[in-house]
Every structure is written in C-alpha cells, then in structure tokens.
Chains A and B, each alone.
Chain A
Amino acid sequence: GQQVMQIPQYQHVQEGEDFTTYCNSSTTLSNIQWYKQRPGGHPVFLIQLVKSGEVKKQKRLTFQFGEAKKNSSLHITATQTTDVGTYFCAGRGSGNTGKLIFGQGTTLQVKP
C-alpha cells in the first residue's frame, strides 16, 4: 500500500541555522500537505502543493514538490525558537478515493 517516509526523525539546530525535512512516497501523489504540531498541541495546516515541481514560500519556509510528484521538502531558513515542533508531510494518493497518508514527522529542536 501507499507509504510516506519522512527524514530525518529528529533534528537539533542552533538558532539561526537552516533546517530541511524530506518526504518520499512509494507512489505518485495527487497532492501533498504540510502540517506543524507544537509540543502538546495538535497538527496545524501549513500548505498544500499540487503541481509537479511546485515551489511555495511562506516567509522563512520554502516548500517544494518533486517533478515526479513522489517527494517533497520543507526548508526553514535561519531557524528561530518559535519553529520548534514536529513537521508532518501528508500525501494523498491519486484517484477520488486516495487516502491522505502522513509521514512519521520530523521533530525540530532549536537551541537559542
């Protein structure tokens, strides 16, 4: 069945350093979504990518969807302590009944 793998599982960075998390699917995706979950909180939607090769930016966050629509990445420039949390990608399979499958998440710790 469809699987979504996300790496790394954990990342510790110094404040001001960059951070990247990668997401890979075993099958072609119709779209991919990214969520952030703060410690003790629930996942909150960040963005959705639909087109092959799509790149979207939100301030210091850059999201990419691969040309083959099987991988994606989230890059944070100059991390801040407010970036702490777990970042999840969620890929939706193709077809009307495609399930939304979440990656295992990357937990980011930022040292001030």
Chain B
Amino acid sequence: KAGVTQTPRYLIKTRGQQVTLSCSPISGHRSVSWYQQTPGQGLQFLFEYFSETQRNKGNFPGRFSGRQFSNSRSEMNVSTLELGDSALYLCASSFSDRQGTQYFGPGTRLLVL
C-alpha cells in the first residue's frame, strides 16, 4: 500500500497570509490526525478527524482549522499566519477511530517570513 502523502512538502509564506495543507491517508484508513512539530515544543496535537467528523482537538487557536472529505483525504488551514507558525506539519493516518497506530506522512515544512 502507498503510504501517507502530504502536499506541498515545502512552503514559504509571509505574515498575515493563509495556507492550506493537504494529506492523503493510507488506503482504507479513515482517521487522520494533524500535528505541529517544532524544535522547542516537540509534537503538538492539532486535531483528529474520523469519517469527516472532528473527534478531538488540541490547544491551538481558532486560526487553525481542518476538515476531512468523504474519501478520507484531509486538509488543514491556517489563517493570518504568524512567525511562530513556522514548523513541520505532520499528518498521520490510522485504521481505527481511536488514534491507534499512527502512520505518519513526510510532513509539510512551513516557513513564515
């Protein structure tokens, strides 16, 4: 099976802009979770979707939002970008709806200038 894919792999934006990141899970996986990884904060949980419904949400401001489509593909949106949003954004898919084994994609590295 193909692994989790994320697009784009790299992105440079300026403060105030918005960005949309995309994630395609492993075929058959219905759960998609998003994480932000920074050197100082480690892996921070953003949200989890299962069957198009948000199941869990981390402690991030409302500028961070996501959605999941009927084919399980997911998108994450960050509006009004801030310098501190520069990070590696990782998507992980899981077969079960209880954040079972997470299969991570390669990530999207976002740089906000």
Contact = CB atoms under 8 A, between A and B. Distances in A.
Contacts of B106: 41-42
Interface residues of A, number: 22
Contact of B43 (A1, A41, A45, A102): A102
Contacts of A96: 98
Contact of A44 (B33, B98, B104): B104
B49 interface: no
Interface residues of B, number: 24
Contact of A43 (B56, B58, B90): B90
Nearest to B59: A1
Contact of B101 (A1, A45, A104): A45
A29 B90 CA distance: 23
A90 B102 contact: yes
Nearest to B40: A104
A92 B98 contact: yes
Given A100-B33, A105-B42, A105-B43, A43 B55 contact: no
B45 A43 contact: no
User: Which of B35, B43, B102, B104 has the most chain A CB atoms inside 10 A of its CB?
Assistant: B43
B73 to A, nearest CB: 18
A92 B99 contact: yes
Of listed B33, B99, B101, B105, residue having the most chain A CB within 10 A: B99
A65 interface: no
Interface of B: 33, 35, 41-45, 48, 55-56, 58-59, 90, 92, 98-107
5 contacts: A97-B55, A99-B56, A100-B33, A100-B99, A105-B43
